[in-house]
Amino acid sequence: MQLQINNKTHEVDADGDTPLLWVIRDNLGMTGTKYGCGLAQCGACSVLVDGEIVRSCVTPLDSVIGRSVTTIEAIETDPVGKAVVAAWVNHQVPQCGYCQSGQVMAATALLKQTPNPTEDDIAAAMVNLCRCGTYNFIKTAVNEVAGRKEASL
């Protein structure tokens, strides 16, 4: 079947119930998107589908046919995504880094939908898990893209 990923058409030989994550990583070799829990609990596998955040480990392939998938590899082609990555670098958000591509995707989805999120909006949307505990840095970086200055930690 044909998939639109990062503005490229990929021909993929896989069953309709295959999780999108497996195809992205194993069939197409794009390993920026991480496998965390496999149960939509942690968010490490977050990607955008038509601009909305989804967890690719629980996204069956046949549910994204004809839709546009964006992964961390191409997030900087989106102006909001580019700003998010810049803020991430500016605040040196990652520690071990494993969850961070998912965090960047979640932040980009939030800021594309709600350019000026409140603190509550940020808390509600940024629910991906980070075992290093970089949550404060994440909040600071999201606030910066939203145009709110916050003392970096």
Partner 1 sequence: MKKFLLTLIAIIVIAGGGLFWFVTHKPGSPFDGETASAAPADLVHRGEMVARQADCVACHSTPDSKPFSGGLEMGTPLGSIFATNISPDKQTGIGNYTLADFDRAVRHGVTPDGKRLYPAMPYPSYVKMTDDDIRALYAFMMNGVQPQNVPNKPSGIEWPMNMRWPLALWNAVFVPSGTYAAKPQQDEQWNRGAYLVQAAGHCGACHTPRSVTMNEKALDEGGTDFLAGALLDGWYAPSLRQDHNTGLARWSEDDIFAFLKNGRNKHAVVFGSMAEAYNNSTQFMTDDDLKAISHYLKSLPGDPARDGQPWAYVAATSATGNAGKPGAQTYAAKCGFCHGTDGRGKNEWIPPLAGAASSLISHSESQVNVTLNGSARVVTADIPDAYRMPSFREQLSDRQIADVISYVRSSWGNHGGPVTPEDVKALREHTDPASSNPIVLQMR
Residues in touch with partner 1 (CB under 8 A): 16-19, 39-41, 54-55, 58-60, 62-63, 124, 127
Distance separating alpha carbons of residues 4 and 6, to the nearest angstrom? 7
Q: Write down the least CB distance from residue 73 to partner 1, Å.
A: 21
Q: Write down the least CB distance from residue 89 to partner 1, Å.
A: 27
- Nearest residue to 71 via CA among 43, 94, 105, 103: 105
Q: Write down the least CB distance from residue 32 to partner 1, Å.
A: 19
For partner 1, the closer CB: 40 or 132: 40
For partner 1, the closer CB: 83 or 138: 138
For partner 1, the closer CB: 38 or 76: 38
Query: How many other CB atoms are found less than 10 A from the CB of residue 20?
Result: 28
Residues ≥6 apart with Cβ < 8 Å to 126: 103, 106, 107, 110, 135, 138, 139, 142
